[in-house]
Amino acid sequence: MTSLPPPPLPPTIRSRQVEAINGLSVHVLEAGFETKGRPCILLLHGFPELAFSWRKIMPALAAAGYHVIAPDQRGYGRTRGWSADYDGDLAPFRLTNLVRDALGLVYAFGYRKVDAVVGHDFGSAVAAWCAMIRPDVFRSVVMMSAPFAGPPSLPFDTAERPAAPPAEDPVHGALAALPRPRKHYQWYYTTRQANADMHRAPQGLHQFLRGYYHHKSADWPGNQPYPLRAWSAAELAKLPTYYVMDLDKTMAETVAEAMPDQRTIAANRWLPDVELGFYSTEYERTGFQGGLQWYRCGTSGAFDAELQMWSDRRIEIPSAFISGKQDWGTYQKPGAFEAMQTRVCTNMTMCELIDGAGHWVQQEQPESVNQLLLRFMNELTA
């Protein structure tokens, strides 16, 4: 790791390794470390990103008096100690163990209380489960771009009418049978070939990531999201192809169809090529399988029984949701956005959709995200 070039970071953020965290050597970006005794904020990235995705958020939080910690999560970047073997053990990537990673990290920094855990994309789910499992440690939660619909439910009132065993979701067959055959990206991500499709993309990894980030951003004019009515093939087929793909296409082929031209790339200010280059260099080195293991845990149902320990549990600590107004991720799971606000979170004090941002909200519109995060934190202290 010492031979790797440093990330292109603002001078107020430092990069370091923290050893012996739940079997990992965790790569951490850190801001506000100059003085001791600051309250802590933990930032958790999603896929396919890194702690680097928080580079525009950390300085503002540190300037407001916080010690800000952002790790490369298990399966990502410069964090070591995980296996990306497709045939290996998936259990280390299950949500409860990702919470254990987060808890071990903040404990290593000497914190028994964290003022806020903030998660984006798949990191939003980890943040939500931190709030669900250890609300005594994580005192507030901010979910970004991926609403949390709550834990899986245990069968209820079945003593006289036993519940039917879980059946395979018929939506996948229905998607494949559409006049334009389709497949859901999360199930594609569970396939053996998905990593190679992206890691060895025909257009090159750097260009693949440029297309992927562009396709899900507010820069792509097709991102004009709205709520879907049901988890059905007909409704899901309304989602862009980066979520519900053509059946015969890889993700690399999918995003290639939305590749921005050179003028658009040169005009990009939220992810200039030098910053994209850090992502592409890191993923060239690691591949994507570490992150794809998370999707395999989620879609397999193998760990649902463990999560059912929290069946009907609510998030009762102060919570917030922030997303881009042009982000289909808010609505990709029909009903989740509404359930989060009305049922799952009992103390949600903020729910904001930022205009001019797609899925990468903290990179596309960092000033607006910083304002909202600080407003949320200031209201808590007030």
Q: Which residue has the tokens 């979701």?
A: 169
Q: Which tokens belong to 340? A: 């989060």
Domain segments of the chain: what residues?
13-152+304-381, 171-291
- pLDDT > 80? residue 222: yes
Residue-wise pLDDT tens digits, 302-351: 999 999 999 999 999 999 999 999 999 999 999 999 999 999 999 999 99
Concatenating the DSSP letter of every residue in 71-91 gives: EPPTTSTT-BS----TTS--G
The whole-angstrom separation of Cα 279 and Cα 354 is: 24
CA angle 377, 380, 382 (to 5 degrees): 110
pLDDT score, position 164: 85
pTM: 0.98
Residue-wise pLDDT tens digits, 133-153: 999 999 999 999 999 999 999
Residue-wise pLDDT tens digits, 111-134: 999 999 999 999 999 999 999 999
Q: What is the mean pLDDT of the chain?
A: 97
What count of Cα atoms within 13 Å lies in the side-chain half-sphere of residue 304?
12
Residue-wise pLDDT tens digits, 354-379: 999 999 999 999 999 999 999 999 99
| CATH class of the structural domain 13-152+304-381 | alpha beta
